[in-house]
Amino acid sequence: MPTKNRGNIIMRPQAPLLVDTFGRRIEYLRLSVTDRCDLRCTYCIPKGFRGFQEPASWLRFEEIERLISIMAPRGLKRVRLTGGEPLVRRDLPDLAARLAAIPGIDDLSLSTNATRLHALAAPLKAAGVRRVNVSLDSLRADRVAAEGCRFHADKDQYGRDAWSE
């Protein structure tokens, strides 16, 4: 994009804002960092499903960082990391730190099933993740089993405790 030099000040044309087809500004992005998950809820991943993307086709951290760096000057303010289950993506705190450091991104959050949150809560918070959203079908183990899901209330509680410390 061309720049104009006015005296000692380099003027850069304002980047065009991100808008949808209804003219609404886009300030929020849900970013899937993997299609994989450590659980197998039947309504999400059919039994025997093998159609996951190969990791080689995933965006690398450098590519994600560049994408968000391009979108932030165009109005993006909030990013939520999702999956699949985002915590199965290796070195996720590294990606979080990269995104949290991008000027204009003032809210970095995460949706998770919490199975790995006890191990990753501290590094994610240190990296700049401000909030987590924990998905739960039920707090009752019998209902969870009946729904064919493996969300585990105790694990979730453990993860939430870790986040609160």
Site pattern 70..109 for ligand SF4 (x: CB under 6 A): -------------xxx------------------------
Residue 84: asked if its preceding bond is cis (omega within 30°), the reply is yes
In the bound complex, what is the minimum distance in angstroms from residue 78's beta carbon to ligand SF4?
Answer: 21
For ligand SF4, the closer of residues 17 and 44 by Cβ is: 44
71 vs 85 by CB, closer to ligand SF4 = 85
Give the H/E segment covering residue 11. Answer: strand 9-11
Phi, psi of 19 (to 5 degrees): -135, 150
- Phi/psi of residue 101, nearest 5 degrees: -85, -5
Kindly indicate which of the ranges 13-21, 33-41, 65-73, 155-163 contains the residues binding ligand SF4, using the contact rule CB under 6 A: 33-41
Is residue 136 involved in binding ligand SF4 (CB under 6 A)?
A: no
User: Looking at this protein, which amino acid is placed at residue 65?
Assistant: E
The DSSP output letter for 137 is S
Work out which of 26, 27, 29, 40 binds ligand SF4, going by CB under 6 A. 40
Is residue 110 at the binding interface for ligand SF4, with CB under 6 A as the rule? no
CA-CA distance, 161 to 153, in Å (whole number)?
12
